[in-house]
Amino acid sequence: MGPHAARRPAASGIADPYAAALGTGRGPLFLHCADGRLLPLDVERWCSVPDAADRSVLRRCKGAVLDVGCGPGRMAAGLLRRGHRALGIDIHPGAVRHTRAAGGRALRRSVFGRLPGEGGWHTALLLDGSIGIGGDPAALLVRLAEVVAPHGLLLAEATGEDDDERMAVRMCDGHGRCGAPFPWARLGLRALAAVAAETPWSLEETWQQGSRAFAALRREG
Ligand SMILES: C[S@@+](CC[C@H](N)C(=O)[O-])C[C@H]1O[C@@H](n2cnc3c(N)ncnc32)[C@H](O)[C@@H]1O
């Protein structure tokens, strides 16, 4: 079986393949879309140290940074090492554990619940697909406008160039074991700019590093 091949999800039974992948630091791990697509997730990179594309984000961070959907926390740890006040938040206990073990600070919180320092963060991060959190990117951006300080910064990673979709997904391993379905979204830079235009964010910069694409958004007022 090749690296991107996987068995179809088992008919029944809810597993937590994300926890297993975070435990070993390795995939295979996929987003299984309702239409049958299997989108590979790069757990090995998430569990590694910041690469060149990550460093292009770290260089742009200002002040106190909130990493939303921090996953295993390489960015939260990297930010602390660079002298930022930084906090990762994630709903998955394994992600919070991994972030702390990597040297970062993290809390098990949903971005849609109460957060420490609301309205005071200078920068928020949405990386590695976290723009999909909640399945409604406009609602996520509106929520983040409450979380960051006036004129604060949002550094968001886009997905594939022409992506613009909201869907139900499940996380699956390569053996047909899948978690419960949850709402998700995928946005390329164009779609991200269009969504931002409906929210209190203005697009300040876009950039590409290797195969990854990012946008810097500024909170209006
Ligand atoms: C695609 S992963 C992002 C990985 C991460 N940014 C990294 O660098 O490794 C999305 C993360 O968002 C988390 N998540 C999902 N819903 C969330 C929510 N409502 N609030 C906070 N985190 C959430 C998931 O548990 C997962 O770790």
Is residue 180 assigned to a domain? no
Angle at the Cα of 169 from the Cα atoms of 132 and 218, rounded to 5 degrees:
0
Contact 196, 202 (CB under 8 A): yes
CATH number at residue 152: 3.40.50.150
Higher-confidence position of 216 and 13: 216
pLDDT tens digit sequence for 63-87: 999 999 999 999 999 999 999 999 9
DSSP 7: P
Q: Which domain holds residue 81?
A: 52-166+185-219
Q: Cα of 68 to ligand 1 centre, how many Å?
A: 7
* Domain-located, residue 172: no
Ligand 1, atom nearest to 46 Cα: 9
Residue 142 belongs to some domain of the structure:
yes
Please report the pLDDT score of residue 13 as a whole number. Answer: 61
- Which of 32, 74, 114, 133 to mutate for ligand 1's pocket (most ligand atoms within 8 Å of CB)? 133
- Please report whether residue 70 resides in a domain: yes
Residue 32 token pair: 């299984």
How far apart CA 65 and CA 2 sit, in angstroms, is: 38
CA of 197 to the centre of ligand 1 (A): 24
Average pLDDT over residues 11-24: 85
Identify whether 30 is part of a domain.
Answer: no
Q: For residue 67, tell me if it sits in a domain.
A: yes
Contact 60, 155 (CB under 8 A): yes
User: Which residues, listed in sequence order, are joined to residue 121 by a DSSP beta bridge?
Assistant: 148
Domain for residue 29, yes or no? no
Asked whether 105 and 165 are in contact (CB, 8 A), the reply is no
Total domains in the chain come to: 1
Q: Which of 90, 108, 111, 171 to mutate to test the pocket of ligand 1 (most atoms within 8 A of CB)?
A: 90
Q: Is 60 part of a structural domain of the chain?
A: yes
